[in-house]
Amino acid sequence: MTAITTIRIDHAAVPDPLNGKNPDAVARIIEAALRDEGLTAEASDVISHIKIELPTTQLAAASAFLASLHLI
* pLDDT tens for each residue of the chain, 72 residues long: 689 999 999 988 888 777 767 889 999 999 999 999 999 999 999 888 999 999 999 999 999 999 998 888
CB 41 within 8 A of CB 69: no
> Which residues touch 66 (CB under 8 Å, ≥6 apart)?
7, 9, 30, 34, 52, 72
Per-residue pLDDT, 3: 95
List the helix and strand counts (H, then E) for the chain: 2, 3
